[in-house]
Each structure stands twice: as structure tokens, then as C-alpha cells.
Amino acid sequence: MKSSDLVKNLAMHPVLASEMSMRMQMGLPYLERRNGKLCMSFKPHREEFEQGNIAYYKPQYEVVFIYPFNHIAKFEVLAYVSEDASVREQNDEMNSSKIEDGKGQASQPVCRIEAEYMLQSGKRLLSELFDACDRVLDFQEKDGKVSNVSITKYQKLYWDTVEKLGLAAVYGDGTE
């Protein structure tokens, strides 16, 4: 199964369907090894088209699936996660000034990208990323394992794609 189809299927997982708003997009698949197992993680977020741009909102969740990706290893609501009390206090002050919708999603986008760019260059970059994901998953299916080199190479492409698309505000910059 192609990774793009796999992502669509994972979005319909019963846990995700019951816990996340229909407005959420799964986002880009991040491959990693956790406890020796191949995992695919996502930062579901909202995307909206507005005046020739795509507005991206802060991820609300982190979801990790273990290969063969029918088991959820982690489902975390990021809106409730803070590193320490001072961060929580700052977030509470900032959030109290924002209008929130019914699912606790901040009403302000974290970035906007020209829709035309995403339809041209963005489409090519995403296609390259999903093709690379397919290659890693093919190794897993054929050999029963994936080398750390393959995963590292995919991760480098993932972070390069995030940077080129201008989506670091959504996915991070790879240094976390």
C-alpha cells in the first residue's frame, strides 16, 4: 500500500475518528524507530484555505503508530502538555486572549503559505517525501526490517521538506 493511501486509512482509525475534529489533517508522516520498532508519527493539525493562501494551525495532537501501523503506541493531546508551570502560566495568559472553537483549537494560524506554491513546488516536494516513505516501507515489508541508514535518510528528507515548504511552525525544525 502506498504511504499516501496508508495515511488516509490511518486518519479513519476509530480512536482518531472519535477523538479528533473532522477538520484535522494528519499531516506529514515521520518515520522513526522507537524501542527497536518502526513507527510512523503524525502531528494532526487544521488547514484552511483563505484568500489564496493555506492557513496552518498549531498541531493539537501527536499520534504514533507501530508497524504495521494498526496499533497506536501514543495518542497525546498537545493542548494539555506543558514543560513546566511557568510555560503553563504564559500559555494560559495567551490562550485567554484568543478565541477558541469547540475543540480547543486556537483561532490564529501559525503560518500561511500561498496555495499556488503548494500546488506547484509543494506538490513536487510532498510527492518526493511520500515516495521516500514508500521505499522505507517496502524494505520493511520485503526484508522484515529497515536499516537505521534508511530511516535517517528519510528523516533528513522530511526536515528538508518541512523547511522548504515553510512549515517549521507546524512541525518544528528538527532540533527538538
Per-residue pLDDT band at 52 (split at 50, 70, 90): very high
DSSP at 170: H
- Per-residue pLDDT tens over the stretch 110-165: 999 999 999 988 999 999 999 999 999 988 877 777 888 899 999 999 999 999 99
> Is 110 part of a structural domain of the chain?
yes
> Is 92 part of a structural domain of the chain?
no
pTM: 0.80
Per-residue pLDDT band at 96 (split at 50, 70, 90): very low
> Is 149 part of a structural domain of the chain?
yes
- Structural domain harbouring 151: 3-78+99-171
Number of domains in the chain: 1
Please tell me the distance from the alpha carbon of residue 79 to that of residue 59, in angstroms, as a whole number.
8
90 CB neighbour count, 10 Å cutoff: 11
Please tell me the distance from the alpha carbon of residue 114 to that of residue 68, in angstroms, as a whole number.
35
Q: Contact 85/94 with Cβ under 8 angstroms?
A: no
Question: What number is the average pLDDT over the span 6-11?
Answer: 86
Listed in sequence order, the residues at least 6 apart from 129 whose beta carbon sits closer than 8 Å to its beta carbon are 28, 157, 158, 161
pLDDT for residue 125: 95
> Is 176 part of a structural domain of the chain?
no
3-state SS record for 47-66: EEEECCEEEECCCCEEEEEE
> Is 93 part of a structural domain of the chain?
no
> Is 50 part of a structural domain of the chain?
yes
